[in-house]
Amino acid sequence: MKCLETFVTDEIRQQMEARLFLAHPSAHERRVLRYAIMIFTILSKPFHLGKKKRSLLYYAALLHDIGYEISARKHDAHSRYLILNDPFFSFWPQPERTMLALIAGGHRKKLGPELEMLSPGKQFTVRQLAAILRIADAIDYPRDESLEIREITLLRHQLNITVHSRVSAMVVERVAKKSLLFKEVFEMSVMVSEE
């Protein structure tokens, strides 16, 4: 937690972690967070992804499924709505609150109409981080606790992820389905292979 960035003060961090869904994230949220940070780390140098972006991704990964409290079917839209409108999040500074909501809520399909209210640079950041979160969430789609990411490499115009899992075929299929935004933003494909 020491690497959390400038706009995340100790007071904000304490308030957020006091929430049950942050203090005790589900196993799925912990895995998605781990996978997202692994992917982010590989991309950070070549794409100049700094600490603020890491912080946004960190919290978006923890919060991406809070919309399940309202509806499983449209939980992504509900996650975005909760972060934008729940009074709990009012302590989060703008425009980072909107960015957080769009990244967390954008982990499945749409990024949301609020994207247009952000500057072009912040829109690009949201798209980058939502793309990473989509891949991380797709890797954990089968909820296989035994899945291991053995290696992530960046070669030319391709992000290669090697996994070990009993459901690797499902992971390969899901990542292929969820990688369009990643291809657009990072101008590279994502290849998942089984070890």
pLDDT of residue 88: 81
Please tell me the least confidently modeled range out of 6-15, 69-78, 120-129, 178-187: 6-15
Kindly state the average pLDDT of the residues 161-184. 90
Query: What one-character DSSP code corresponds to residue 6?
Result: T
Kindly state the average pLDDT of the residues 71-80. 79
Kindly state the average pLDDT of the residues 33-54. 95
Between 148 and 12, the more confident residue is 148
pLDDT of residue 5: 43
Residues of the chain above pLDDT 90, percent: 52
Match domain 10-143 to its CATH number in 1.10.3210.10, 3.30.420.10, 3.40.50.620, 2.40.37.10: 1.10.3210.10
CA–CA distance, 19 with 112 (Å, rounded to integer): 25
Domains in the chain: boundaries: 10-143
Q: In what order do the strands lie in the sheet with 158-164?
A: 148-155, 158-164, 189-194
